[in-house]
Amino acid sequence: MLYDIFIGPFVQMVEMPDFFLQVLWEGFVAGILYALIALGFVLIFKASGVFNFAQGIMVVFAGLTLVGFYESGVPALLALLLTIGVMGALAYGIERFVMRPLVNQPDIILLMATIGLTYFLIGLGEFVFGGEPKRMIAEELGLPTGSTAIEMGERGLVILQHIDIAAAVIAILMVTALGIFFNKTRIGRALRAVADDHQAALSVGISLNQIWAIVWFAAGLVALATGIMWGARSDVSFALEIVAFKALPVLILGGFTSIPGAIIGGLIIGFGEKIGEIYWGGLVGGGIESWLAYIIALIFLLFRPQGLFGERIIERV
Amino acid sequence: MFYREAGQFKTSYEADQALFPIRQDRIGLAVILLIAFVGIPLTANDFVLTSIMIPFLVFSLSAIGLNILTGFAGQLSLGTGAFMGVGAYAAYKLTSLFPDVNVIVMVLCSGFFSAAIGAVFGLPSLRIKGLYLAVTTLAAQFFLEWCFIRIPWLYNYNASGAIEIPSRDMFGILVTGPEATPLTRYFIVLAITSVIALLMANVLRGRIGRSWMMIRDMDIAAELMGIRPLQTKLLAFAVSSFICGVAGAMMVFFWLSAAEPSSYSIKLSFQILFMVILGGLGSLSGAFMGAAFIWILPVVLKFVPGMLGFDIEAATVEHLTFMIVGALIIFFLIVEPHGFARLWQIGKQKLRVWPFPY
């Protein structure tokens, strides 16, 4: 028993490096996708202090809208543009009708409002697009769909799906773009000012309403990219919603306010989950993927209650 | 004018410190209990009892449980569903291990199991606060759900993987299982819920309840004033989980009669959290109002199109219900972020000064 826990898995890793690498790659891809969802959370949390529970459903909603437009006969790229437009309208609507009336309320009330928003979007999505899973139009959007097998000498081979590589590249591009946006542009600086202090930002003439709409729109774009990537790997369906819960440990690991934190947190969770499931999951009957992420986050939190990259929590009485 | 406490003099400390010192409150409570114990059983049919009243009471009790943790002790929890599940599975195991013991005793005992598990998952709350704490309770939610699926011992190695409640009688009357009459089940659920609610109303205004509220308002300050955070927080987790566990056990014993792990999923946790927040954090009457809103509204909405003569597909109605409930949640949060309990307080104030504006 002790052997199975402490030695067996490592022996297995060394004996079958190709399999181990495959597991690592799976973990990497899962981590990137978790990180993408977490990124949407971080954007909104940074700028408005709202923990946006609806991010998961926004991913589904964006994916469904894209597929929905395509199925009604619109060319793929135009459908993409139209979906971006829909996400913009959604961002404006959320800012106008949910966030603005609730300004300055306690965190938990805002959290509740986003959960209410989740219900609304679930209902709306199912009402407009139906509840069945849909196939993502990955090929039509020009994303690669094949796979490459890399041979590892005589030890076997590792299979890389092209769509996963594309996901990784897009995630890296997106993080870089967001980094530049936050640090170099006028709006990005305004966003950081709002994140630091709402009142001070207002007093130097930054429009909070405008900033929030922009931030929700950016989160919508991240959701769209995530929706395409997740959708290409499985189908676009409301089951993706559960993935949003996975973003929670990712966020907590990385700290709510840190963009690099979201990426690194995502990778830790992705790797930990896949390796744990494959090498240790069998000992307890499998399926531990559903909760391992939370336990990993919990262990990290016990040592660093503010997450790996979060700002230090200082409490005054 | 209708709700004025002027002229009600207290002549002893007992009267002054009574649970309901105002006469109108006592009358109101008596009327509500009278309706619940006499009016509804006389008038309601089986449908109203089984699909509205029994679930409403079960959810009210679990909302009280979560309210103690989140509303009074300030610890956000997303694991209510799992704690309810612990109660259900514990009660199921207990009744199958000791078939001769009264089933109600078993339902109440099951609360101790979920209290123990709740206290274990409450341990991190000492170091982790606020939204970060949500992740530990989510860990509890998903881990326990996994246990319900993967440990066959918990459901007696059933092929279906679900727990099915055997029929048990008490003083010759069938109380559990599908054959028990809705009325008997309603009375048992009502009795347990009212007793626990009354008990909690007492606990919350005493030393324990006050120490919870101190922890909620500012835990460092509370610690400086001599409240032990470890014991207080763990006690809040234990009491809250106890109540949720009893509610979960009642849910399967007196309402559903059979349950599978997905009955206690994260969706249930969120539903209960909705009830607590919409009802009003830190208010027992709010828990009942929130439960009524979240449970009864969708049931009613399902029948509205039929009554108005529209012929809409069931699936569409369900989608629309989702949208309406979501929109109403946002609407009520905007109108009154402190929930129905605050609306009720405002209403009482209006009644007090009526017919004058102030």
Q: Return the CATH number at B101.
A: 1.10.3470
CA distance A284 to A268: 22
Compare CB distances from B322 to A97, A119, A248 and report the shortest one's residue. Answer: A119
Intra-chain end-to-end CA distance of chain A, in Å: 49
Mean pLDDT value across residues B309-337:
79
Residue by residue, what is the 3-state secondary structure of B218-271?
CHHHHHHCCCCHHHHHHHHHHHHHHHHHHHHHHHHHHHHCEECHHHHCHHHHHH
What's the whole-model pTM score? 0.86
A250 → chain B, closest CA residue: B135
Task: Calculate the average pLDDT of chain B.
Answer: 85
Shortest Cα distance, chain B CAs vs residue A229, angstroms? 25
Of the two residues B172 and A180, the one the predictor is more confident about is A180
CA distance B287 to B194: 13
Would B117 be classed as within a structural domain?
yes
Is the Cβ–Cβ distance between A232 and A136 less than 8 Å? Answer: yes
ipTM score assigned to the predicted complex: 0.81
Domain that holds residue A36: 2-303
Q: What is the pLDDT of residue A156?
A: 63
A54 → chain B, closest CA residue: B326
Which CATH number characterizes residue A267's domain?
A: 1.10.3470
Shortest Cα distance, chain A CAs vs residue B135, angstroms? 6
Shortest Cα distance, chain B CAs vs residue A72, angstroms? 20
* Rg (chain B; Cα; Å): 21
Highest mean pLDDT among B172-186, B251-265, B302-316: B251-265
* Distances B290 to A208, A272, B281, B283, B287 between C-alpha atoms, Å: 33, 39, 10, 10, 5
B77 → chain A, closest CA residue: A108
User: CB under 8 Å to A22, separation ≥6 — which residues?
Assistant: A158, A159
Compare CB distances from A291 to B131, B142, B270 and report the shortest one's residue. Answer: B142
CA distance B160 to B292: 32
Would A317 be classed as within a structural domain?
no
Sign of the alpha-carbon torsion through B54, B57, B60, B66: negative
A121 → chain B, closest CA residue: B323
Say yes or no: A104 contacts chain B, CB-CB below 8 A: no
Is the Cβ–Cβ distance between B139 and A294 less than 8 Å? Answer: yes
CB-based burial label for B226 (10 Å; 0-12, 13-18, 19+): exposed
Would B7 be classed as within a structural domain?
no
Would B275 be classed as within a structural domain?
yes
Asked if A51's CB is within 8 angstroms of B323's CB, the reply is: no
| pLDDT, tens digit (0-9, with 9 covering 90-100), for B192-244 | 999 999 999 999 988 999 999 999 888 889 989 999 988 999 999 999 999 99
List A residues 255-274 in contact with B (Cβ-Cβ < 8 A).
256
Would B12 be classed as within a structural domain?
no
Would A308 be classed as within a structural domain?
no
Q: Does the pLDDT of residue B178 top 70, yes or no? A: no
Q: What is the pLDDT of residue B344?
A: 87
Mean pLDDT value across residues B299-317:
72
CA distance A283 to A7: 13
Q: What is the pLDDT of residue A317?
A: 66
Contact list, A105 vs chain B (CB under 8 Å) = 333, 337
Task: Retrieve residue B336's tokens.
Answer: 């009154």
How, if at all, do strands B258-259 and B163-164 pair? Answer: antiparallel
Would A183 be classed as within a structural domain?
yes
CB-based burial label for B52 (10 Å; 0-12, 13-18, 19+): middle
Would B17 be classed as within a structural domain?
no
CB-based burial label for A157 (10 Å; 0-12, 13-18, 19+): middle
Phi, then psi, of A240 in degrees rounded to 5: -60, -20
Q: What is the DSSP string of B55-105?
A: HHHHHHHHHHHHIIIIIIS----S-HHHHHHHHHHHHHHHHHHSTTS-HHH
Q: What is the pLDDT of residue B243?
A: 94
Compare CB distances from A252 to B135, B322, B330 and report the shortest one's residue. Answer: B135
Shortest Cα distance, chain B CAs vs residue A297, angstroms? 8
CB contacts < 8 A, A to B, total 138
Of the two residues A267 and A17, the one the predictor is more confident about is A267
Our count of domains for chain A comes to 1
Q: Taking Cα atoms as reference points, which of B334, B303, B327 lies closest to residue B317?
A: B303
Give which of A105, A258, A268, A294 to mutate to test B binding, by max B Cβ within 10 Å: A294
HSE-CB for A145 with a 13 A CA cutoff:
12
Is the Cβ–Cβ distance between B333 and A106 less than 8 Å? Answer: no
Compare CB distances from B266 to A111, A122, A245 and report the shortest one's residue. Answer: A245
Is the Cβ–Cβ distance between A166 and A278 less than 8 Å? Answer: no
Would B167 be classed as within a structural domain?
yes
Shortest Cα distance, chain B CAs vs residue A113, angstroms? 5
Q: What is the pLDDT of residue A310?
A: 66
Least confident window among A41-50, A88-97, B32-41, B233-242: A41-50
Would B154 be classed as within a structural domain?
yes
Compare CB distances from A294 to B139, B220, B318 and report the shortest one's residue. Answer: B139
Would B6 be classed as within a structural domain?
no
At what angle are helices B314-335 and B266-279 packed, to 10 degrees? 40
Q: Does the pLDDT of residue B61 top 90, yes or no? A: yes
HSE-CB for B206 with a 13 A CA cutoff:
9
Would A315 be classed as within a structural domain?
no
Say yes or no: A80 contacts chain B, CB-CB below 8 A: no
Domain that holds residue B93: 23-353
Q: How confident is the model at residue A273 (pLDDT cuts 50, 70, 90)?
A: confident
Asked if A245's CB is within 8 angstroms of B139's CB, the reply is: no
Our count of domains for chain B comes to 1
Mean pLDDT value across residues A178-199:
82
CA distance B177 to B167: 4
Q: What is the pLDDT of residue B19?
A: 81
DSSP state of B3: S
Would A316 be classed as within a structural domain?
no
Would A314 be classed as within a structural domain?
no
* Rg (chain A; Cα; Å): 21
